[in-house]
Amino acid sequence: MRRLRFLSFWLGALIGALTGRGRRKRIVEEGSESPGAELAVVGLLLLSAVFAIGFVVVLATGSWPNRTQYEGIALGGSLLLMAFALILVSKKLIVTEQNEEDYPEPEHPEEQAEVTQIVRESGSRFTRKRLVKGAFAAAGGALGVAAIAPAISFGPALDPFELNWTPWKRGKRLVTEDGAPLKASDIEMETFYTAYPEHSARDNIAAPVVIVRLQPRALKLPRSRRNWAPQGIVAYSKICTHAGCAIALYRKPTFPPVQPDPALVCPCHYSTFDPAAGGKVLFGPAGRNLPQLPLMIDSAGHLRAAGNFSGPVGPSWWGVRMKGPITQDR
């Protein structure tokens, strides 16, 4: 019996040595072959290669009309064909095993206890633990503040009233996009104009204004602004007081035709302002009226600012109602 076992062991070893491998049990299950699927996979992969080469050809030759479409079809097609090949491989050529395994242990109480112990015991030489912890916290906190302090060089955060600057002041002429001074006679009814302060930077939130001409009788301006609208021409900041978009719509598209009163409308969130009533908010989310720019007409018929806006320009912030607009011509 012992001898037989001995013999079979050596026989096994001999066969193993001859065939070059130990006899191991299969890990991956066996399955049937499927030559048709294999051919299909080869076909898909070759087609994928053709598409990929097609992409290179389109790139190299270059001057096709609709080049982007061909590029997309070639490169996307190549990837998709390869994807199909892989899905076919996983469906038809690879055994779909169902394996089972236990979920990992939910917790390791022994290690938890040990970690706690290590941390606890390593602090046993301290006699003033709280004091040391406090000192570390103080140093760490201070260092943290020091580390983010250079961020102050990002912007003038300490004096936010720069937000109230505007380039407008009494006497400033209103000019068009091209820099030509606007005449009162240029301003027609039923439409609106964008104007800028003459000789000032235009990439400033307080620079652009909208101008509309209304029937002087239709004006409902506050008493203090009686003289702000010569000939019924009114000017307002073009920047919405809600979120800073440009007020690019005049009465459209929010109002149905049955509501004929003109209104200035921001296309971002449809804040709607009444130009006849000093920029009062009619609808939409804006929390402040639209700042009005007082106008006057000089002896040459040109439109000029008669002062600064009725309030700060742009979206609200904590200090927006604390100071008026500050003239700062850059």
Partner 1 sequence: MIRRAVRFIDTRAGAAPFIKATLRYVFPDHWSFLLGEVALYAFIVLVATGTYLTFFFHPSLADTVYHGTYAPLRGQKMSEAYKSVVDISFHVKAGLLIRQTHHWAANVFVAAIVLHLMRIFFTGAFRKPRELTYIIGILMLFATLLEGYAGYSMVDDLLSGMGLAIGYGVALSLPFVGGNLALLIWGAPYPGDPSFESRLFIAHVFILPVLIGTLIAVHLTLVASRHHTQFRKEKRMTNRRLVGVPTFPGQAPRSLGLMLGVAGILLLLGGLIQINPIWLWGPYHLAQGTNGAQPDWYLGWLIGALRLVPHFDVTIGSYTLVPNPFWGGALFPLIVMGVLLAWPWLERRFSPQRGFHNLLDRPRDAPGRTAFGVAFLLWVFLIFFAGAADRIYLFLGWSYQEQIWIYRGLVWVLPVIAFFVTRSVCRELQAIERVEEVREAAEAEAQAASA
- For the bound state, the minimum distance from the C-beta of residue 281 to partner 1, rounded and expressed in Å, comes to 5
Site string for partner 1, 42-71 (x = CB under 8 A): -----------------x--x-----xxxx
In the set 28, 118, 146, 300, which binds partner 1 (CB under 8 A)?
28
Nearest Cα residue to 275 out of 241, 229, 239: 229
- Cα–Cα separations (whole angstroms), residue 214 to 94, 155, 269, 276: 78, 41, 25, 7
- For the bound state, the minimum distance from the C-beta of residue 132 to partner 1, rounded and expressed in Å, comes to 30
Binding residues among 138-157 for partner 1 as defined by CB under 8 A:
151-152, 154-157
Does position 303 interact with partner 1 (CB under 8 A)? The reply is no
Does position 103 interact with partner 1 (CB under 8 A)? The reply is yes
Distance CA 157, CA 148 (A): 14
Does position 78 interact with partner 1 (CB under 8 A)? The reply is yes
Count, residues in the chain? 330
- For the bound state, the minimum distance from the C-beta of residue 289 to partner 1, rounded and expressed in Å, comes to 10
Does position 271 interact with partner 1 (CB under 8 A)? The reply is yes
Nearest Cα residue to 88 out of 51, 50, 35: 35
Does position 257 interact with partner 1 (CB under 8 A)? The reply is no
Nearest Cα residue to 185 out of 164, 203, 211, 165: 211
Give 43's contacts (C-beta < 8 A, 6+ positions apart): none
- For the bound state, the minimum distance from the C-beta of residue 191 to partner 1, rounded and expressed in Å, comes to 16
Does position 205 interact with partner 1 (CB under 8 A)? The reply is yes
Does position 172 interact with partner 1 (CB under 8 A)? The reply is no
Among residues 166 and 234, whose Cβ is nearest to partner 1?
166
Does position 292 interact with partner 1 (CB under 8 A)? The reply is no
In the set 197, 278, 315, 325, which binds partner 1 (CB under 8 A)?
315
Strand order in the sheet with 264-265: 249-250, 264-265, 272-274, 280-283
Does position 270 interact with partner 1 (CB under 8 A)? The reply is yes
In the set 86, 113, 180, 189, which binds partner 1 (CB under 8 A)?
86
Among residues 213 and 288, whose Cβ is nearest to partner 1?
288
φ/ψ of 6, rounded to 5, equals -55, -45
In the set 233, 286, 305, 306, which binds partner 1 (CB under 8 A)?
286
Question: What is the number of other CB atoms lying within 10 angstroms of the CB of residue 168?
Answer: 27
Confirm if 169 and 304 have CB atoms less than 8 A apart: no
Paired tokens of 156? 């003038």
For residue 294, the 8-state DSSP code is P
Confirm if 148 and 281 have CB atoms less than 8 A apart: no
- For the bound state, the minimum distance from the C-beta of residue 172 to partner 1, rounded and expressed in Å, comes to 16
Does position 108 interact with partner 1 (CB under 8 A)? The reply is no
Nearest Cα residue to 50 out of 90, 62, 42: 42
| Bridge partner residues of 37 (DSSP) | none
Among residues 23 and 125, whose Cβ is nearest to partner 1?
23
Binding residues among 111-140 for partner 1 as defined by CB under 8 A:
none
